[in-house]
Structure 1
Amino acid sequence: MTRVLLTGASGFVGSAVQARLLSDPHYSVRSVYRQVPQQSPAHLEAVQVSGIEPDTDWLGPLEHVEVVIHCAARVHVMDEREADSLEAFRRVNVRGTLRLAEQAAEAGVRRFIYLSSIKVNGEGTQPGHPYTADDVPAPLDPYGISKWEAEQALLLLAAKTGMDVVIIRPVLVYGPGVKANFRSMMAWLNRGVPLPLGAITNKRSLVAVDNLVDLVMTCVHNSAAANQVFLVSDDEDLSTTELLRMMARAMGRPARLLPLPMGLLSGFAQLLGKKAISQRLCGSLQVDINKTKVLLGWTPAISVDGALEKTAKDFLEH
Structure 2
Amino acid sequence: MAWRLHDGHRGRRTPLRMSVGPWDEVRAAPAHPQHHAPRHRWCVVTRRAVERSSGSAGRAGLGMLQPDSAVGDRLHRSLGGGPMTDVLLPRVLADLSAEHVGTRCLVTGARGFIGRRLVDALAVLGCSVVAADIARIPQGQTPGVTHKKVDVCKRRAVDELLAFHPVDTVFHCAGSMSVQGMSPPTIERALMQVNVVGTATMLAAARRAGAKRFVFVSTHQVALGGAGNALDESVPMARAPLDAYTRSKQYAERAVLEADGVGGMRTLALRPAGVWGAGGMMITAFLAQLIAGRFARWIGCRNDVFDTTHLDSLVRALLLGAARLCDAPQVAGGQTYFITDDERYGPMEWFAPLVTGLGYPLPRRRLRARWLWPVAWSMEVVHRLGGAPAALTRPVLTKLSGMIHHSVDKARVELGWAPVVSRDEGVQLLASDLHRIHAEIRAVQAAKQLPFRAPDFALFHDPVPKFVFVVWDRAAPDPARRRSRLVDQVGTALRTHLAVVTLSVDVDGPNSRVRSPSPFPLGARPVAGLVNLRTPTTDAPARVHRILSEHGFDAAGYRVESSIYRDYGDNAHAPPRDWADGVASPGVVAVTLFEKPSRMAYDDWLSAWHHGISPLSEAIQPRTRYVRNRVLEPVTVGAPPVAGIVEECFPSADHVRDPRKFYGADSIPSLVKNMARILWSVTRFLNIFRIQTTVMTETILVSTSHVDGRQTGEPRATGREHLARLPGQNG
1:25-64 equivalences under 5 Å are: 25=126, 27-34=127-134, 35-49=136-150, 51-53=151-153, 55-62=155-162, 63-64=165-166
Say if 1:100 and 1:268 are closer, same or farther in 2 by CA, change over 3 A. closer
Equivalent in 314, 317, 320 of residue 215 of structure 1: 317
How far apart are 1:86 and its partner, in Å? 4.3
Report if the CA contact (8 A) 2:182-2:244 is conserved: no
Counterpart check, 1:15 vs 2:116: yes
| 2:346 matches 1:239 | yes
TM-score, normalized by length of structure 1?
Answer: 0.86
| Structure 2 residue matching 1:58: 3-state secondary structure | helix
The residue that corresponds to 2:255 in the other structure is 153
| Unaligned ranges ≥5, structure 1 | none
> RMSD in angstroms over aligned alpha carbons?
2.8
Q: 1:284 offset after TM fit, Å?
A: 3.5
Q: Assess, with a 3 A threshold, how the Cα gap between structure 1 residues 217 and 203 changes in structure 2: closer, same or farther.
A: same
- Where do 4+ consecutive residues of structure 1 move more than 6 Å? 188-194
State the distance in 2 between where 1:259 and 1:314 align: 29
User: Is residue 2:398 matched to residue 1:279?
Assistant: yes
Cα distance in 2, alignment partners of residues 125 and 253 from structure 1: 40
Instruction: Give the structure, 1 or 2, with the largest relative contact order (CA under 8 Å, sep 6 or more).
Output: 1
Report the equivalent of 1:170. Answer: 272
How far apart in 1 are the matches of 2:293 and 2:157? 51
Higher mean C-alpha displacement, 181-190 vs 11-20: 181-190
Counterpart of 1:112 in 2: which secondary structure?
strand
Distance 2:431 2:294 in 1: 17
What is the aligned counterpart of 1:76 among 161, 170, 178? 178
2:362 maps to which of 233, 256, 261 = 256
3-state SS of the aligned residue for 2:128? Answer: strand
What's the CA shift string for 1:260-279, capped at 9, x where partnerless?
Answer: 3x43x652574474352443
Q: Is the 8 A contact 2:227 2:235 kept in 1?
A: no
Question: For 1:229 and 1:7, how far apart are their aligned partners in 2?
Answer: 19
Cα distance between partner residues in 2 of 1:69 and 1:306: 27
Q: Which letter does structure 1 place at the counterpart of 2:406?
A: V
Please say if 1:230 is aligned against 2:329: no
User: Unpaired segments of 5 or more residues in structure 2?
Assistant: 1-97, 380-391, 438-731
CA distance in 2, matches of 1:292, 1:259: 38
Quote how far apart the aligned CAs of 1:57 are.
3.1
- Does 1:113 pair with 2:215? yes
Distance 2:289 2:167 in 1: 44
The Cα shift of 1:202 comes to 0.8
Q: Is 1:296 matched up with 2:415?
A: yes
| CA shift in 2, pair 1:130/1:5, >3 Å | same
Please tell me whether residue 182 in structure 1 is matched to residue 283 in structure 2.
yes
1:156/1:190 CA distance change after superposition, 3 Å:
closer
Q: Which position in structure 1 is the counterpart of 2:236? A: 136
Q: Return the alpha-carbon distance in structure 2 between the equivalents of residues 124 and 256 of structure 1.
A: 33
Paired with 1:52 and 1:193, the residues of 2 have a C-alpha distance of 36
CA apart distance, 1:125: 7.7
Contact 2:277 2:283 in 1 (8 A): no
Moved more, 64-73 or 267-276: 267-276
* Residue pair 2:305, 2:346 contacting (<8 A) in 1 also: yes
* 2:197 aligned partner: 95
Contact 1:207–1:232 (8 Å) recurs in 2: yes
Q: 1:269 to 1:119 in 2, by over 3 A?
A: closer
Deviation at 1:136, TM superposition (A): 0.7
Distance 1:144 1:269, change over 3 A: closer
Letter in 1 for 2:341: D
Q: Do the aligned partners of residues 74 and 271 (structure 1) sit closer, same or farther apart at CA in structure 2, a change above 3 Å counting?
A: closer
Deviations 1:108-147 (A, max 9, x none): 1110000011121125886xx1221121111512221221
Q: Contact 2:256–2:268 (CA<8 Å) still a contact in 1?
A: no
Q: In 2, are the aligned partners of 1:12 and 1:178 still within 8 Å (CA)?
A: yes
Map Cα deviations across residues 206-231 of structure 1 (whole Å, 9 max, x no partner): 00111111111111212243221111
Instruction: Return the alpha-carbon distance in structure 2 between the equivalents of residues 311 and 290 of structure 1.
Output: 27
C-alpha separation in 2, matches of 1:275 and 1:188: 14
CA offset at residue 189 of structure 1?
6.3
Q: CA deviation at 1:195?
A: 3.3
Determine which of 281, 294, 297 is the counterpart of 1:196: 297
For the structure 1 residues 90 and 200, does the alpha-carbon distance in structure 2 shift closer, same or farther, using more than 3 Å as the test? same
Q: Cα distance 1:191–1:64, how it changes in 2: closer, same or farther (>3 A)?
A: closer
| 2:718 matched residue in structure 1 | none
The 8 Å contact of residues 306 and 400 in structure 2, kept in 1 or not, is answered as no
Please give the alpha-carbon distance, in whole angstroms, between the structure 1 residues aligned to 2:289 and 2:133.
34
For the Cα contact (< 8 Å) 1:201–1:241, is it kept in 2?
no
Change (3 A) 1:267 1:82: closer
> How far, CA to CA, are the matches of 1:153 and 1:286 in structure 2?
26
CA contact (8 A) 2:181 2:244 kept: no
The whole-number CA distance in structure 2 between the counterparts of 1:287 and 1:79 is 22
Question: Who is 2:56 aligned against?
Answer: none
Does structure 2 conserve the Cα–Cα contact (< 8 Å) formed by 1:192 and 1:256? no
1:24 equivalent in structure 2 = 125
Structure number with greater Rg is 2
**Aligned AA (2:147):** A
Which residue identity lines up with residue 122 of structure 2 in the other structure? L
- Which structure has the highest strand share of the two? 2
**CA positional deviation for 1:82:** 4.8
- After superposition, the Cα gap between the structure-2 partners of 1:270 and 1:182, relative to the gap in structure 1 and judged at 3 Å, is farther
- Matched residue, 2:591: none
Distance apart, 1:238 and its partner CA? 0.9
Counterpart code for 2:219: S
Paired letter, 2:351 = L
Contact 1:292/1:298 (<8 A) preserved: yes
Paired residues of 1:30 and 1:46 also in contact (CA < 8 A): yes
CA contact (8 A) 1:66 1:110 kept: yes
Counterparts of 1:144 and 1:268 in 2: how far apart (Å)? 21
Distance 1:120 1:188, change over 3 A: closer
Residues in 1 aligned to 2:149 and 2:207: alpha-carbon distance in whole angstroms: 20
